[in-house]
A and B are shown apart, each in its own frame.
Chain A
Amino acid sequence: MDYLTENIDSLNQKLAAGTVSADELLQASLDQIDAHKNLNAWITVDKDAKPDADLDFKASKLAGVPIAIKDNIVTKGLRTTAASHILDNFVPVYDATVIKRLHKAQATIFGKTNMDEFAMGSSNENSYFGLVRNPWNLDHVPGGSSGGSAAAIASGDVVAALGSDTGGSIRQPAAFNGIFGIKPTYGRVSRWGLIAFGSSLDQIGVLTKRVRDAAEVLNVIAGPDDHDATVSERPVPDFTAALGKDVKGLRVAVPKEYMSDAVDADVRAAVQKQIDALQAAGAIINEVTLPYTKYVVPTYYLIASSEASSNLQRYDGIRYGFRAKDTKNLMDVYLKSRSEGFGEEVKRRIMLGSFALSAGYYDAYFMQASRVRTLICRDFDNIFKDNDVIVGPTTTTPAFKIGEEIQDPVKMYNNDILTISANLAGLPAASVPAGLSDDGLPVGFQIMGQRFDEAHVFQTADFIECSNKFYQQKPAGLED
């Protein structure tokens, strides 16, 4: 079984025809994971997992299909660590809503993918369980924070993975690994069971090789949930309905800030090719401006870190997770467990967020960031009055080298400049492969839509996928 050439529909047909069994599919995934051990894409793999009994291949396309789960989504009975020492022994007692829905669709859930600790990072170098390597070049990072999910897809461990995206954590690794990744609208997918990082920004999404596969999975996990007050009551359309639609007349905005010199020339060139293809197919290309782009990184890091500083307070060594030894009193338990349990980047953001929320600084930092956030939203609303999608590069560079940026947090944070806005504004956004850089590393093409308009995002991504057929390429690093 070569997952690099399969997709959910093809697997479903084979399962239905009986030419392959769900057990064999699961075994194929376990074998692939074993073969790609050097990537370190997985934190926990349950070798004793079994596909559902009584699989109904007609009722569900996901029936018997192994799906990878990012390790910040809680799975009942299956260890969930958020790649942190502080949760390295944590076995959840309940399933996230998305997991419940995947179970209902009879998908096979058997393992948890590596990530940056608590989803904080853009390189997957911040994991307690070690860094993840990029299948296209093992010396390069896979991106983050959903680096494990992206590497697992790119290397053919599975055809679909769940990720989460707070500032680009699905799209940036998707871009770095030459795969598709979509962060739906904030409020489209329930966050119940997603270990919180930045609650007003976090969104669960899907990483796949093929656009259609992501639409199939999103169809299953999206929709209202009485466990999450921030999920929209809107009915969920069939996302596959948008695929294959003609892009003639599609109004495509290209922000000039996204195609500036700050973006590598080869990245820009690869992206421009996709824009040209859209234009050639009859799409209307409009150059627009997003003047607040220069403020999005500080705005984002203030809001996300502030929320994180509060969300991560519950990890105190008292009720679950890691507790430090040799403690003298309550304060000692708190201090030692948290000092030893959290990694450097997590501590940095807790400190940053605590500072931004503290009395005397709240107005200058958190409040000011909230105001800028409102202005950024307004920017996007204006563009979407006359446009269906906004496109550009997903990242300013292709995957950088392991160790290259980890010592310079600000440089690392600036990686997210093109992806963060969609989180601040709650927009659906995806990354679809655009081609390869001069160094043979994948380049991502980002597509953003108006809130709850995933349909146009899928339509555009599907067009790009069909036009450049990047999915036919195999990651170079795998041939070693």
Chain B
Amino acid sequence: MNFKSTIGLEVHFELKTKSKIFSPSPVTYGADPNTATNVIDWGYPGVLPMVNKDVYRLGIMVALATHAHILPQTHFDRKNYFYPDNPKAYQITQFFQPLARDGYVEVEVHGKKKRIGIHEMHIEEDAGKNTHGTNGFSYVDLNRQGVPLLEVVSEPDMSDPDEAYAYLEKLRKIVQFTGASDVKMEEGSMRVDTNISIRPAGQEKLGTKVEMKNLNSFEHVRQSLAYEEKRQQQVLLSGGRVQMSTRRFDENTGKTYLERVKEGASDYRYFPEPDIPPYKIKQSWVDEIAKTLPESPMDRRKRYIDEYGLKPVDADVLLQTKESSDFFDSTVKAGGDPVLAANWLNTQVNGYLNDHRLELADVKLTPEHLAAMIKLIKDGTISSKIAKKVFAETIANGTDPKQYVEAKGMVQLSDVSVLGPMVTKVVDDNPQSVEDFKNGKDRAIGYLVGQIMKQTRGKANPKLVNKLLNEELNKR
């Protein structure tokens, strides 16, 4: 029997604001427990939420980048439940009127293009964090309480784990390029919950949904969905029934385990948050935000390939992060040749970053310096061999390439009146090489170039030396 899978994803993004969504406490990562909190985060008697308007702005950016329809009026609602990391015993979220609806992203899987719908996206506050000590005590850290989140709920449009993976990759990239979120799975600024059901091919009615929460990586999303597909198939084939439940994925075994069975939907007693008036989102404001929206990764890719003539693979490497793409754009803007800039970024710069386990933001290399170096290579001032030395210095110490090259006397020797006599002398001194050349041994010329290089301590313009040697040898 054949089965069809139906997959939907709920992705939470932490929105990149300075302060929390409803309180002036700073948004931090890795601070000492409960140091980034105030009475609002603690849910003290008498406190009230004040919306950080930047949250709307960042949410609107993501909505625009995913072609979603932004609602003209949005409001917050309360989701009621007791838990120690939830100090008010309700989460302020958007249930009845979310920020935006009906968006989509386009993915390409197995060579086929597909549009994955976004059902809605809403703004909400994050909860604190519970940790369980070995001493019998549990601890609550409210630093994360009130960090703004944007939850993006997909339509159940994905029909296999690879599509889910592709959707996540694409969505992450789109959100990352808006600058609205750091999208770091490892720091929790991007979190994924999945829903999957299967049904026999030909059956209309959807199967029973199984949910998996807090998956650590896209790969785990793919693995857990693939495991669930098989598990649910086996359940159905053996005449069983899939339970509506939440399951946990164990990355060590690659299997999923039952966490809790859901008997009907939980009752969160949603109702409109009376402490926050409904908020009208004016089209003029949306238009203003649209103007500040950075170019999407899809548009950048097109520009890199069509305008700059980059190979698709090089464009994709540059577009892996917004930082590298921005760095590339700035380098080109500063006058660096796009193809050379892409090559340098994707090979030398990435190599350096990998070797030293650094991020682009951590090194002293600037787009202006990289552009300057590329210019020196292009106009023949330095050889690519010299360039590697210059690069090492620039990326390590932030030294200006042009000044460095001049100070160190690294300028390439391209003067024919100096190189000419040297070439004549080298050919005179090496009759054997002349003989070899005449006998068609191309290697001979390499040896002669090496001699010139040795004499000029690497500064001779290799192209020019080659040309002069060929001319000289052909004369003999």
User: Chain A: residues with CB nearer than 8 A to chain B?
Assistant: 73-74, 80, 82, 87, 90, 92-94, 96, 191-196, 198-200, 226-230, 306-307, 309-310, 313-314, 316, 318-320, 330, 334, 354, 357-359, 362, 366
- A357 and B50 CA atoms in complex are apart in Å by 24
**A92, A227, A313 interface centre (most CB from chain B within 10 Å):** A313
Q: Which residue of B47, B50, B51, B270 has the most chain A CB atoms within 10 A of its CB atom?
A: B47
Across the interface, do A200 and B274 meet the contact criterion of CB distance under 8 Å? yes
Q: What residue in chain B is nearest A93 (Cβ atoms)?
A: B39
Q: List 6 A-B contacts (CB under 8 A).
A: A74-B46, A229-B48, A306-B271, A310-B78, A319-B42, A330-B138
Q: Does B84 contact A (CB under 8 A)?
A: yes
6 closest pairs, A vs B, by CB? A313-B89, A357-B269, A200-B274, A199-B274, A193-B46, A195-B45
B49 to chain A: which residues have CB within 8 Å?
Answer: 229
Contact residues in B for A191 (Cβ distance below 8 Å):
46, 48
Q: Give the one of B78, B80, B271 with max A CB within 10 A.
A: B271
**Complex Cα spacing A228 to B275, Å:** 8
Chain B 58-83 per-residue mask, 1 if CB under 8 angstroms from chain A, else 0: 00000000000000000000101010
Known: A307-B274, A310-B80, A316-B82. 9 other contacts (CB 8 A): A73-B46, A82-B45, A192-B46, A193-B47, A228-B275, A310-B90, A310-B271, A314-B87, A362-B269
A307 to B275, CA, bound (A): 10
Q: Which residues of A contact B270 (CB under 8 A)?
A: 357, 362
Residues A314 and B43 in contact, CB atoms below 8 Å apart? yes
Within 8 A of A (CB), among B28-50: 39, 42-50
Q: A307-B274, A359-B265, A366-B271 are in contact. Are A313 and B42 (CB under 8 A)?
A: no
Residues of B bordering A, CB below 8 Å: 39, 42-51, 78, 80, 82, 84, 87-90, 138, 140, 265, 267, 269-271, 274-277
B132 → chain A closest CB, angstroms: 11
What CA separation (Å) do A354 and B46 show in the bound complex? Answer: 21
B273 to chain A, nearest CB (A): 8
| Residue numbers in A under 8 Å from B87 (CB-CB) | 314, 318-319
Q: Are B271 and A357 in contact (CB under 8 A)?
A: yes
| Minimal Cβ-Cβ distance residue in A for B82 | A334
Quick check: B48 and A192 within 8 Å, CB to CB? yes
Q: Are B277 and A230 in contact (CB under 8 A)?
A: yes
Known A94-B39, A316-B89, A357-B269; contact A226-B50, beta-carbon cutoff 8 A:
yes
Pick from A307, A310, A359 the residue with the most CB of B within 10 Å.
A310
- CB pair B45–A199 under 8 Å, yes or no, is no
- With contacts A226-B50, A318-B84 taken as known, whether A90 is within 8 angstroms of B271 at the C-beta atoms is no
Closest to B49 in A: A229
Majority-rule SS of A interface residues: loop
Q: How far is the CB of B177 from chain A (nearest CB, A)?
A: 32
Task: Report chain B residues within 8 Å CB of A354.
Answer: 269
With a CB–CB cut-off of 8 A, which chain A residues contact B88? 313-314
| Closest CB in chain A relative to B52 CB, distance in Å | 11
State how many angstroms separate the Cβ of B74 from the closest Cβ of chain A.
Answer: 14
Number of inter-chain CB pairs below 8 Å: 99
Q: How far is the CA of A366 from the CA of B272 in the complex (A)?
A: 10
Do residues B44 and A92 form an inter-chain contact, with CB atoms below 8 A?
yes
Contact A313 B50 (CB under 8 A): no
Residues of B within 8 A of A330 (CB): 84, 138
Question: A74 to chain B: which residues have CB within 8 Å?
Answer: 44-46
Partner of A87, one of B45, B47, B267: B45
A199 cross-chain contacts in B, Cβ below 8 A:
274-275
Residues of B within 8 A of A93 (CB): 39, 44
Interface centre among B42, B46, B274 (most CB of A within 10 A): B46
Docked pose: A193 CA to B78 CA in angstroms? 20
Residues of B within 8 A of A90 (CB): 45
A362 touches B271 (CB 8 A): yes
Given A92-B44, A313-B89, are A229 and B50 neighbors across the interface (CB < 8 Å)?
Answer: yes
B352 smallest CB distance to A (angstroms): 48
Residue ID in chain B nearest A228 by CB atoms: B48
Tell me the complex Cα distance, A194–B43, Å: 13
A310 proximity list for chain B (CB < 8 A): 78, 80, 89-90, 269, 271
Residues on A with C-beta less than 8 A from B138 are 330
- CA gap between A310 and B84 in the complex, in Å: 16
- Residues from chain A with a CB closer than 8 A to the CB of B44 are 74, 92-94, 320
A298 to B384, CA, bound (A): 84
Contact (Cβ within 8 A) A313 B80: yes
Asked whether A313 lies within 8 Å of B46 as measured between CB atoms, the reply is no
- Taking CB atoms, residues of chain A closer than 8 Å to B277 are 229-230
Please name all residues of chain B whose beta carbon is closer than 8 Å to the beta carbon of A316 when the two chains form the complex: 82, 89
In the complex, A227→B46 CA distance in Å? 11
Contacts of B275 in A (CB 8 A): 196, 199, 228-230
Closest A residue to B266 by beta carbon equals A359
Shortest beta-carbon distance from B425 to chain A in Å: 84
**Nearest CB of chain B from residue A69's CB, rounded to whole Å:** 12
Which A residue sits closest to B276, measured CB to CB?
Answer: A229
Chain A residues with Cβ below 8 Å from B46 are 73-74, 92, 96, 191-196
Residues on A with beta carbons closer than 8 Å to the beta carbon of B45: 74, 80, 82, 87, 90, 92, 195-196, 314, 320
Q: Which residues of A contact B84 (CB under 8 A)?
A: 318, 330
Q: Smallest CB–CB gap between A6 and chain B, Å? A: 31
Do residues A227 and B43 form an inter-chain contact, with CB atoms below 8 A?
no
Residue numbers in A under 8 Å from B271 (CB-CB): 306-307, 310, 357, 362, 366
Chain A CB within 10 A, most for which of B45, B46, B274: B45
Chain A residues within an 8 Å CB radius of B50: 226-229
A306 to B138 CA separation, bound complex (whole angstroms): 31
- Residue of B48, B78, B269 near A227 (CB, 8 A) is B48
Chain A residues contacting B140 (CB-CB under 8 Å) are 318
The CA-CA distance from A63 to B257 in the complex, in Å, is: 67
Known: A310-B78, A357-B271. A192 touches B47 (CB 8 A): yes
**Please, which residues of chain B bring their CB within 8 A of the CB of A314?**
43, 45, 87-89
Could you say which residues of chain A place their CB within 8 Å of the CB of B39?
Answer: 93-94
A198 CA / B51 CA spacing, docked (Å): 20
